[in-house]
Amino acid sequence: MIKPKLCREKAHTCISLILLPSPKMASVAASSPISFAASFLRTKPFPLSPRFLPIPTLRCALSSSSSSDPIEFDITFAPPKPAPSSPRNNGSAFQQLFIPWIVRGEDGKLKVQDQPPAHLIHALADATTQNPKKKVKKKKPQAASSSSSSATTATSEPKLSKAARRYYNENIKEPPQRLSKVLAAAGVASRRTSEELIFAGKVTVNGSVCNTPQTRVDPTRDIIYVNGNRVPKKLPPKVYFALNKPKGYICSSGEKETKSVISLFDEFMSSWDKRNPGTPKPRLFTVGRLDVATTGLIIVTNDGDFAQKLSHPSSSLPKEYITTVAGDVHKRHLMAISEGTVVEGVHCVPDSVELMPKQHDIPRARLRIVVHEGRNHEVRELVKNAGLEVYSLKRVRIGGFRLPSDLGLGKHVELKQSELKAMGWKS
């Protein structure tokens, strides 16, 4: 098919006749004439198949708004040139078709030429047939002012997303706690002593004196002072120890006590800063108490909730003791111990009482007694009520955790999560 195209630019007007072999190419040319013309001129001249016959003469009429009469002229195509035969075309001679161009010259008259006008060639050269790819600019790393700042940037932690911070605040971060509990956890004093400091007006929260121990505070946000000293924002980590208490030590953290159980941790506390730089030291205390003459297992920690759960009678946590008594033990003694006795106004009954077999190195009789209330001097009162005299008393088990046999007197070992769970604690 033959498609005429009219181009107007300033004073020049041209009409080009392009031979399109198929309707599909005609639609492409109609949608984007310049792009099609650019691709058309880049290709080699196509041979005419037998179904396309050369057109010897073409009559064309051009009408314009400026001139009333249409301009008519005849177009004669160049004579066909014989094409060499090749095996591909089976010896058939194809002919080359030259397309004429009608342009307006400098004198204003139309004329026919075999080359397209110069302004059209420039337009085709500047036309783009494909969408340009967007260049992605690479961000150049900003030069650090000093080596220290660059090292800090390289080692800085990435910022967390809002979803991660929300999950941390809802599931991991501890909620605001009572002021007295925060002071005790920070190592200021015991919870009871912290309450006395609060009542005395020696504690300020965010610049105001606080006289209520139940006030909820967040040490990471609130500014807390005790006697003019700032309470650190970062609280010490929770630590849990099992201690084999020797005889002659009392379970008290008072400064006046010379032989306190806490003094057995002096070496551990002195090396705390080397092992945990920048972290406050924990304030250790015992979970429950053993009297000065009783030895064996005692838990030392700085977790008040953990201590409250283990030592409270409502937890019903079994505690096993081995007591060595003077004299012979008969069945009536065991029956008297099993019936229980009154301790601190409450009738206490042991869970089990058992006479242990004698050993060659221990001539005295030994009793295994398991209680769950753990009241003050409960085991000693049970044995005394049965008419027996206690020679030595040792605690060997709390809940499901038993004192390690290789742990010497005065030595301690840090508890694992599985051992804490054995005592009924879920951190």
At the topology level of CATH, where does 237-315 sit? Alpha-Beta Plaits (3.30.70)
Rounded distance between C-alpha atoms, residue 239 and residue 261, angstroms: 16
Report the half-sphere exposure of 291 (CA within 13 A, side-chain side): 12
Q: Which residue has the tokens 């004439």?
A: 33
The closest alpha carbon to 294, from 365, 370, 393, belongs to 393
Q: What's the pLDDT score for residue 4?
A: 43
Tens digit of each residue's pLDDT (9 = 90 or more) over 194-252: 899 999 999 999 989 999 888 998 888 889 999 888 888 888 888 999 999 999 898 87
Strand partners, 395: 296, 321
43-74: pLDDT as tens digits: 444 444 444 444 455 555 555 545 555 555 55
Q: Give the residue ranges of DSSP H helices in 271-416.
A: 272-275, 304-311, 331-339, 378-385
**What pairs with residue 229 in β-bridges?**
226
Measured CA to CA, the distance from residue 320 to residue 312 in angstroms comes to 16
Residues 73-90 have pLDDT tens digits of 555 555 555 555 545 444
pLDDT recorded at residue 199 = 92
Give pLDDT, residue 246.
93
Integer angstrom CA distances of residue 296 from 248, 258, 336, 392, 409: 12, 20, 25, 11, 8
Confidence grade of residue 16 (pLDDT, cut at 50, 70, 90): very low
Homologous superfamily, domain 318-398: Alpha-L RNA-binding motif (3.30.70.1560)
> Taking residues 357-373, what's their average pLDDT?
87
CA 174 from centroid of its chain's CA atoms: 17
Give 216-265 as a 3 state SS string: EECCCCCCEEECCEECCCCCCCCCEEEEEECCCCECCCCCCCCCEHHHHH
The set of residues, in sequence order, having a beta carbon less than 8 Å from that of 263 and lying 6+ positions away, is: 249, 257
The per-residue pLDDT for 82 is: 54
Q: What burial class does residue 290 get, using C-beta atoms within 10 Å of its C-beta: 0-12 exposed, 13-18 middle, 19+ buried?
A: buried
The beta strand positions in 156-223, using DSSP E, are: 177-178, 203-205, 208-209, 216-217
Other residues' Cβ atoms within 10 Å of the Cβ of residue 282: 22
pLDDT of residue 234: 82
Lowest-confidence range among 65-69, 101-105, 112-116? 65-69
CATH 3.30.70.580 domain locations along the chain: 237-315
State how far the Cα of 123 lies from the Cα of 34, in Å rounded to an integer. 8
Catalytic residues: 291
pLDDT of residue 305: 82
Topology annotation, domain 174-230 = 3.10.290
Mean pLDDT in residue range 175-199:
85
pLDDT for the residue numbered 130: 61
**Confidence band (pLDDT; 50, 70, 90) for 294?**
very high
Kindly report, as residue ranges, where domains of CATH 3.10.290.10 are found in the chain: 174-230
Question: What was the pLDDT predicted at 243?
Answer: 94
| Backbone conformation region of residue 106, classed left if phi is above 0, alpha if psi is from -120 to 50, else beta | alpha
pLDDT bucket at 34, cuts 50 / 70 / 90: very low
pLDDT tens-digit map of 188-210: 887 888 899 999 999 999 989 99
Whole-number average pLDDT of the chain: 74
Whole-model pTM over 0.75: no
Location of each CATH 3.30.70.1560 domain in the chain? 318-398
For the stretch 254-284, pLDDT in tens is 555 568 898 899 899 899 888 888 888 888 8
pLDDT in tens, 323-344: 999 888 999 999 999 998 888 8
Q: What pLDDT does 324 receive?
A: 92
Distance CA 24, CA 20 (A): 9
What whole-number distance in Å separates Cα of residue 188 and Cα of residue 179? Answer: 11
Question: What residue has token string 């005609």?
Answer: 26
pLDDT tens for 383-394 read 999 999 999 999
With beta carbons less than 8 A apart as the criterion, state whether 285 and 190 touch: yes
